[in-house]
Amino acid sequence: MAAIAESRRFRRSSDGVLHDRSGHIVELQSLRGIAATAVLFGHVIGYYSIPDWLGDIGKLSNGRAAVVIFFVLSGYVLTRSLRASTFDLPAVARFYWQRWFRIYPAIWPASLLGLGYLVMLHWQIPVDNIGPSFGRYFRTDRYDSLHIIGSFAGVQAFLLPQLWSIFVEIVASIAMPGIAFVALHRPRWMPQLLIIAAVVSFAIQHSPYDICLYFMDFIVGAALAMHLLPAVPFPWLVPVCLVALSATLFLPLSYVSPTAHLVETFFSAMVISVLISTPIFWLRSRFMKFIGDISYSIYLLHFVVFCFIAKVFALAQLNLNTVAMTVLLAGATYAVTIPLAWLSYEYVERPGVGLGKAILNRYSAKVGLKRAHSPTS
């Protein structure tokens, strides 16, 4: 009976990948949720000035590696979405249109929340024992129209510090039709493309939001999508690789080290390679899939949420040590972010994607845009 139920809920594509009725690969969706949760806790743990031992525990929630997972996943999903594309100008324009409606609608309410936090609370309510790393956020010298508008445009990480990765995602999305074309129609060029990207990541170590460092992740994802990298059908590798990713911040390397990035890209690719070739049933639970569905909004909203909550704690004058405050802040942030992210997913993300599709379906005949699979990453 369980096998029959499984076959009704999931379908296998022509290349052997198991997905749900909406076309999502459920394990990858759940992996997104794990990565977004890791970023959430990694940021929260850095808010207060905490003992070294708690900081070391916080390193295990490796937000840097989680972002690498996001990028490799995007390369994989977007390349799969372009398999049926003709790669002519109308098809590429359609891809960009759908990407725009996938990325931007959720950014705007999150940025508005960030602006409200700055205007009403950030400089008005002092908080004791702020961690040293938190001082680099919300700098007063960037509190101007340029950085605020840039944040709403997804090209500045002022109102939402994590928007730097969205900038990388936007730039990579512009290049994805070209990357996918190579993966789909010129696969023999992919090794050279990977080598060039790796060399660039070491040669150019100071680029806007480290775009030259992370660009390789999207190429790796494209190679995985076209099975140009070998599948690894060993489920036990998933927890092993996730543990390895959690530990990479302990390497004696700088935070933006190309070497550390290569290690994280390797383990991220290994995890995704397993998940696209082997069913992992614990990743198909309703809760894991739910967290995966709302992961983008979790990622966008959590930073401002814990900043708001920390100010509430300051107003309440909680007389607790920083360890207890960090634990309390982490729990409260997760509890508040999840329902807010669900609201954003249901009433912003999904309607935004639907609006983009509706406009395309209505006007595609008039402007000559050809249908293509929706880029859902």
Segment 247-264 shows an average pLDDT of 94
Main-chain phi, psi angles of 260, to 5 degrees: -60, -40
CA distance 296 to 278: 25
Residue 375 lies in a domain: no
Question: What's the whole-number mean pLDDT along residues 269-285?
Answer: 90
Mean pLDDT in residue range 186-213: 94
Q: How do residues 56-105 score in pLDDT, each as one tens digit? A: 998 899 999 999 999 999 999 999 999 988 999 999 999 999 999 999 99
* Phi–psi pair at 19, nearest 5 degrees: -135, 165
Please, what's the b/e burial string for 296-334 (b: 16 or more CB within 10 A of its CB; e: otherwise)? bbbbbbbbbbbbbbbbebeeeeeeeebeebbeebbebbb
pLDDT at res. 374: 52
Beta bridge partners of 20: 10
Residue 278 to residues 16, 229, 236: CA-CA distances in angstroms? 10, 15, 10
Residue 300 in any domain: the answer is yes
Residue 61 located in a structural domain: yes
Is the separation of the CB atoms in 24 and 283 below 8 Å?
Answer: no
| pLDDT surpassing 90 at residue 42 | yes
- Contacts of residue 87, Cβ cutoff 8 Å, sequence gap at least 6: 177, 180, 181, 185
What is the total count of domains within the chain?
A: 1
Q: How far apart are CA 278 and CA 234, in angstroms?
A: 7
Say what the pTM is: 0.91
* Residue 356, in any domain of the structure: yes
- Residue 269 near residue 28, CB atoms below 8 Å: no
**Structural domain includes residue 83:** yes
Q: Is residue 14 part of a domain?
A: no
pLDDT-derived band of residue 361, with 50, 70 and 90 as boundaries?
confident
| Structural domain for 333, as ranges | 22-367
Backbone angles phi, psi at 54, to 5 degrees: -75, -35
Greater confidence (280 vs 370) lies with 280
Q: State the chain's mean pLDDT as an integer.
A: 90
DSSP class of residue 153?
A: T
Q: What is the pLDDT of residues 145-162, one digit of tens each?
A: 999 999 999 999 999 999
* pLDDT confidence band for 3 (50 / 70 / 90): very low
Whether 13 maps to a domain, the answer reads no
**Domain membership flag for residue 1:** no
| Residues 151, 112 contacting (CB under 8 angstroms) | no
What percentage of the chain reaches a pLDDT higher than 70? Answer: 90
